[in-house]
Every structure is written in C-alpha cells, then in structure tokens.
Structure 1
Amino acid sequence: MNHVELTACIAELSALRYTPAGIPAANFVLEHESEVLESGVLRKVKLTLRAVAFGMLAEQTVQLPLGNAFRFTGFLINARTSKSVVFHIQVIDQVLNPI
C-alpha cells in the first residue's frame, strides 16, 4: 500500500498553475523535523520533500501560510523528469498543537 501521512511545514509554494486539461495544480516543498526512537536510540530526523496538489485542494493550498504545521496525507510517485520522489497530497489538516 502506498499511503503516507506526514506532519510538515510548507517551505516553498509556487503560484497556482493549470494542467493541459485545465485542472488547478500547486507545487510546493515540505519540511519536516522531529525526533524518533530507532533501535533504542533517539534520532533527529530532517526531511525536505517535493509535493503537489490538484483541483480544489490546490486552490486551497496556495492560500496556506508558509511555516505553519499541517498534516498531509497522500501517496508517493517518481517525478516524471527524474528519479526523485513527489508526494501527491490528497488531504491537508491543520495541526493545532505541533510538537
């Protein structure tokens, strides 16, 4: 199953664009920072990830403030032009009490 949930901040946000089919699209960069327990050792985790949203979610995304924490849900695919990963966002929830 390809299902990802990530709490992150929007670090960069491109202007709203439209696909050739006329669907709104928003490209952005997410940043995540936390600590996780791995093999009994506390590890600091930092992640920067390219993301995209389509349709009404894209229109909402371009209005979100940079730097605020949100919970993103979606799936991962390889970018069309490279072997890098892109997080396709399906749901965005505001995080009320980020840790």
Structure 2
Amino acid sequence: MNQLTVVARVIEKSAIRYTPAGIPIASAILMHSSQQVEADKKRLVEFEISAQAAGEISGQFHELPLDVEVVFTGFLVRKNRNSKSLVFHVNEIRTNLLD
C-alpha cells in the first residue's frame, strides 16, 4: 500500500496549472517538523516535500494559508518516469488536527 499521512505547513505555492484535459493542478512545497522516537532516543525530524493536488481538491489545496499546520493524506509517486525524486500527491486535507 502506498499511503502517506503527514502534518505539515505549506511554505511555498505555485499558480494553478491545467492539464491538456483541463484538470486543475495545484503545487506547493510542504514543511514537516516533529520529534520521533527511534531506538529509544528522541530524534528531531524535519523535511520539505513537493506536493500537488489534482481535480476538485486543488482549489482547497491552493487556498491553504502559509505556515499553518494541516493534515495531508495521499500517496507518493515519481516526479516523472525517469526520476528518482518523489512527489506527494494529496487527495485529502484536514485542517483540524484533532480529527
């Protein structure tokens, strides 16, 4: 199964673009920061990841404010067929962290 759920903040957004079929695509860079336990030791985990949302959710994704923690769920895919870089494709957004 390829599913990722992460609490992150939008730190950079691009203009909405459209596929040749007219599907809207919203792109952004997400920033995650948390403390995790590994081998019984606390570890600070920070990363940035490229993310995008397609279709109906793209408008909601594009309208998210910068620097506000949000729960994103989706899947990872290669940036293109020959790339080793990953892009997080968001298909669910929860603005309430307690849900």
Q: Normalising to structure 2: TM-score of the pair?
A: 0.93
Q: Does 1:4 align with 2:13?
A: no
| Structure 2 residues without counterparts, runs of 5 or longer | none
SS of match in other structure, 1:61: helix
Question: What is the CA-CA distance between 1:95 and the residue it aligns to?
Answer: 3.3
Aligned sequence identity (%): 42
Q: Which amino acid aligns with 2:71?
A: R
Residues 15-35 of structure 1 deviation map (CA, whole Å, 9 limit, x = unaligned) = 111011100000111000000
Q: Which runs of 4+ in 1 moved over 3 A?
A: none
Q: Which amino acid aligns with 2:23?
A: I
Structure 1 counterpart of 2:83: 82
How large is the RMSD of aligned CA atoms in angstroms?
Answer: 1.2
Count of residue pairs the alignment pairs up = 97
Structure 2 contact 71–97 (Cα < 8 Å) conserved: no
What CA distance in whole angstroms lies between the structure 2 residues aligned with 1:34 and 1:40? Answer: 16
| Structure 1 residues without counterparts, runs of 5 or longer | none
SS of match in other structure, 1:59: helix
Residues 14-66 of structure 1 deviation map (CA, whole Å, 9 limit, x = unaligned) = 01110111000001110000000100000000010000100111111111101
